[in-house]
Amino acid sequence: MVCISTAEAAGPIDFHTADSLLLARSHDLRLARRDVDAAEGQLAQSRLYDNPTMSVMYNVRNPVNRRWFDPGREGELDVQVSQPFAIGGQHSEQVRQSAAQLSASRSQLQLTRRDLLAQAHTALIDLYYRQQQAAVYDLEIASAQRILAAYSEQSAKGNVAGMEAARIRTMLCQLSKQRADLLVGVSGLQAQLRSLLGIEGAEPVTAVIDERKALDEAAKLCTALTSGGGAAPVDTLPEIQALSAQAEAARHGLKWQRSQALPQMAVQGEYDKNGNIGHNFYAVGLSLSLPLWNRNRGNIRSGKAAVEQAAIEMERRRLELAQQRAQDLAIVRQYLPRPADASAVTDDDLGRMLQAAEKQYMNRHITLLEFVDLYSNYRDTRLALLDARSQALQAAERLRMIWGGETAQH
């Protein structure tokens, strides 16, 4: 399989592109597919019966005529054949257990696919808004650099106090440091996405999202899930189906362990050319083990514990899903209305406020403290709005992937 080059995969990535790359290149997804292949092989193997056992004994030195390896009528040849056969579910329960394990592997593949897609989508959303936050710092830094250049020139001429230019310079240093810290996180998200999507190289990745559409879809999804409509039933979720199959496999495993407490039986046949009874002796028989000392009680006890563990794990997973759903719905309801209702107006107003603050300060209509306060308010408000949108869309994406079904996929 050919690796996707940086030129083909890096750069602007939206949800559709991320899905295509992940489904084609994800290492975790490929490993999950191989788990299914292994489970299919295990099922095919479990359907096979034990091979017969054959033993041949040939007399080395005939004691009657003292011939070595006598091939004649007086030579001794003994052939024994044994074919084990299963009783009480010793074979069928193992087949049923392997079939349940295959079903669990297939459900686990669906779960891995869904979780990887959700992880890629939320990482894209996080990257998109961090890049938006970096743009906020870029705008402020560019504005502060223009003011610093003008004030440094005026300070050299003695028209402006040197303290004001120094304060602008310190503010610029702080903004640059905060921007650098943010870009470190951006770099980490880009590396995470490249790893998830199987992208080689270290070229920057840019997230592309239709923000307006995403916010509208998140609001519709939240309304649908809150009203109880449109949500996938819990029992249809791949993690519950996988746990249900694992519980079924544990039950069949327990039945198989109980069957091992029964006698192990085999049909036997024997041909003796010159035995004690006579010439060309044929015999059939039956062998069985007597479960006197070992009744497989330890393995049966372990099987019972495995069944109970499977039930406990399913109960815990159902509770986790319910709690995660409630938490994500709370995040969407809490953060979505503010950016959804007035995001465009707020962004425009904040942009005009920054331009006005720069112009007013350059014209000496506001003091340095007022200017710094306006810049700080602009930055804090913009970053808070972007963070609220990011958290709302990430929570909505998790809800969409788990509870929205295939029709809600991007």
Lowest mean pLDDT among 224-228, 327-331, 403-407: 403-407
Is the pLDDT at 408 greater than 50? The verdict is no
Q: What is the pLDDT of residue 337?
A: 62
Residue labelled with tokens 């009744």: 295
Lowest mean pLDDT among 119-123, 284-288, 358-362: 358-362
Is the pLDDT at 1 greater than 50? The verdict is no
Report the amino acid identity of residue 406. Answer: E
Q: With CA atoms as reference, report the closest residue to 125 among 324, 339, 380, 364.
A: 339
pLDDT tens digit sequence for 198-228: 998 888 899 999 988 999 999 899 888 888 7
As given in the structure block, the two tokens for residue 89 are 């579910």
pLDDT tens digit sequence for 102-128: 999 999 999 999 999 999 999 999 999
Residues with Cβ < 8 Å from 361, sequence gap 6 or more? 147, 368, 370, 371
pTM value?
A: 0.83
Lowest mean pLDDT among 11-25, 47-61, 78-92, 154-168: 154-168
Residue labelled with tokens 């499977």: 310
Q: What is the pLDDT of residue 410?
A: 46
Question: pLDDT above 90 covers what percent of the chain?
Answer: 57
Question: pLDDT above 70 covers what percent of the chain?
Answer: 89
Residues with Cβ < 8 Å from 18, sequence gap 6 or more? 120, 121, 124, 193, 197
Q: What is the pLDDT of residue 13?
A: 92
Q: What is the pLDDT of residue 158?
A: 65
The more confidently predicted of residues 277 and 375 is 375
Mean pLDDT of 27-37: 95
